[in-house]
Amino acid sequence: MVRAKVLSINAPSVLDETALASLNELVELTVVDQAPHDELAPVLAQAVKDHGPFTACIFLLKWHEPLPFPLDEALLGSLVDSGTKLFSCGGAGFDRVDISYLTRKQVYYANNPSTVAIRTADSTVMMILQALRASSYHEDRLRQGLWHDHTVMAKDARKSTLGVVGMGKIGKMVADHMRLFGMKVIYTKRSRLAPSDEDGAEYVSFEELLSRSDVVSLHCPLTAETRHLLGPKEFESMKAGVIIVNTSRGPVVDEGALVDAMASGKVLRCALDVFEEEPKVHPGLLSNTKATLSPHSAVLNETVMADAEQELLENLFAFVRSGVPVTPVNLV
């Protein structure tokens, strides 16, 4: 069997022996080190000359090091022009990938949503509960040497409605978890789920979700249509005292409008893992103890890297064997 040539940005680091054996059996792996976009582009072009052409290119990124985004023609062109037909990177989001370019060239991009979905859902549930209970506010007072403030009360989950924007893998897990705390769940997405998949959640329009929800939790990808999905107009249409939770992408929320809505009392509290101009955070959020904030770390736990590598390789193996990855973002 002729092994497929694959270019990997960084070498696999946490795979078990079975996965490594499958990798070595199916592919001939060339590894280059991670670098920022403009530094990596000529490295990829040289790899094509020295070791290519490559069937696929995978990004086993070290997220604490400078990242090569965006994955665009300037970075990937030498690979695409030489015949690479699959690119895959960890994570569910693909807003930093030029999907339209790859699709025009009939090249797949596969995301890897399952690994991050479980961790993101867990973190979202934690942040919903923190916001319901005003935990950041009370912790800040305690650290100042103060005791509880009876004027700031927790909202009762059992008497609250959760509005899920984007009922995909993460949204469904969050809905399932929060239902156990007694929350009524309503949701909106581009098309309604099959009734058998709703598990009691009620499908509503985006506008109705905003007007009825006590907690709005965002689980949609960042696209041109979802950028500033929540802005001044949307906040105005919500209930007074609503809670906003965002673990999707920062620019889905207009941060300035959110700060204004919190100042007015329209938004009671918020919990955010993502921000509009990362790593910058709006000073109006940093100074507000009714905002629970996390530095885009929802997926970080001790097993995430091993699971992420395994999921990415499952996409690669499927493509090498059948010509189609498990979770393609685009159709070619």
Q: Return the pLDDT at 56.
A: 97
Q: Return the pLDDT at 90.
A: 87
pLDDT in tens, 57-96: 999 999 889 999 999 999 999 999 999 999 999 888 899 9
Q: Return the pLDDT at 2.
A: 85
For residues 23 and 87, the model is more confident at 87
126 vs 32: CA distance, rounded Å: 38
Q: Return the pLDDT at 64.
A: 87
Per-residue DSSP letter, 157: G
Q: Does residue 21 surpass a pLDDT of 90? A: no
Residue 108: both structure tokens together: 């797949």
218 vs 163: CA distance, rounded Å: 9
pLDDT in tens, 270-328: 999 999 999 999 999 999 999 999 999 999 999 999 899 999 999 999 999 999 999 99
110 vs 221: CA distance, rounded Å: 15
Helix axes 73-81, 37-51, angle to 10 degrees: 10
Would you name the residues annotated as active-site residues? 249, 278, 296
pTM: predicted TM-score of the whole model, two decimal places: 0.91
Q: Return the pLDDT at 1.
A: 67
Mean pLDDT of the chain: 96
Q: Does residue 16 surpass a pLDDT of 90? A: no
Q: Return the pLDDT at 32.
A: 97
Overall average pLDDT of the 99-112 stretch: 97
Q: Name the strand (E) or helix (H) holding 187.
A: strand 184-188
The SS3 call for residue 23 is helix
Nearby residues of 160 by Cβ (< 8 Å), 6 or more positions away:
132, 183, 184, 214, 215
174 vs 299: CA distance, rounded Å: 14
Q: Does residue 15 surpass a pLDDT of 90? A: no
Overall average pLDDT of the 203-225 stretch: 97
Overall average pLDDT of the 162-180 stretch: 97
Q: β-strand 202-203 against 267-272: which pairing, if any?
A: unpaired
Q: Does residue 254 surpass a pLDDT of 70? A: yes
